[in-house]
Amino acid sequence: MVSTRGRLDADEPTTRSGSWEFGGSDAVVLYVHGLGADAESARDQAYAARLGLAAASDSAGGDDAAASVPPVIGYSWSSNDDWGPAKRTADANAAPLAGWLTAWADEDGRPAHVFAHSLGARVTGATLRELADRGRTDALASVSLFGGAIPHDSVGTDGAYGAAIGALDAPLYNFHSRNDRVLGWVYRASDRTRAVGHGGLSGAATAPDGYADIDVSDLVADHYSYLEPDAGCLPRAIGRIGFE
C-alpha cells in the first residue's frame, strides 16, 4: 500500500506498507479507490482487485496465465468524508501521486497500470494534469477508469482532463455501465451532470488521442462490482490493456 492519509501537508506525503517483494513481475497495477474508504477498506479493495485479476487471467487460460498477473499496489487516500470535502481531497492528491509515479518510473522502471474506481477517477484525472505539467507523460503504461465519478465531458478534448489525456504516452480506457445506479441517480442528482462511468464520453465532446470508451453494461450490474472476481469486467479489461 501507498498512503497519503494524514500526510498531505508533510514534506514526504506518501508512505509505504505491506510486502514489496514483487519477484520477477514485469509490471504493476496501482489501484486508486473511490469515496468512503478508510485504510482497512482501501486495503481490502486493492486485494479484491488482485483476486479479480487472477480470476480473469485464469478464465483467459494458458499455462502462464497465473504468472502473468501483475502485483497490485493500493493507493490509499482520505476519501472517508462527505462528498464535497472528498472531491477537494481527491484534487489535493494529484501532486503526491504524480510524485510517487515519477519516482517509481525512475527508480524501478516496471510499467505501471493505473486502475481507478469511482471518485478515484478524479484523483487520477488531476494526477494526469500534474504529470503533464511536469513533462512526465511517460510515467504510465495505461490508465483504466471503472465507474468513473467525474463529469462525462471532463475527458473530452475541451474538458478538465482532456488535454492531459491526449498528452499521455499511454492509452486511457473508460469502462462504463448503464446499470450503475450510484452514478445514474446519486451522482447525477448531486453534481447535476452525467458521469463518464455511466454512459461514457458526452456525445457533444471530442475524444482526445488515446481515449477509448468501453461499455461493460453486459458484465457490470452495479457500482461496486467492476473489479470483483467472477462478477465484474476485468476479463474484458485485460483483453484491452494487455500486460508487458
151-183 confidence digits (pLDDT tens): 999 999 999 999 999 999 999 999 999 999 999
C-alpha distances (whole Å) from 36 to each of 18, 40, 83, 92, 101 are 22, 11, 9, 16, 24
Average pLDDT, the chain: 94
pTM: 0.95
**Nearest to 186, CA basis, from 83, 76, 78:** 83
Q: Which residues of 131-150 are buried (b: 16+ CB within 10 A; e: fewer)?
A: bbeeebbebbbbbbbbbbbb
Least confident segment among 22-26, 58-62, 196-200 = 58-62
Cell triple for residue 164? Answer: 492531459
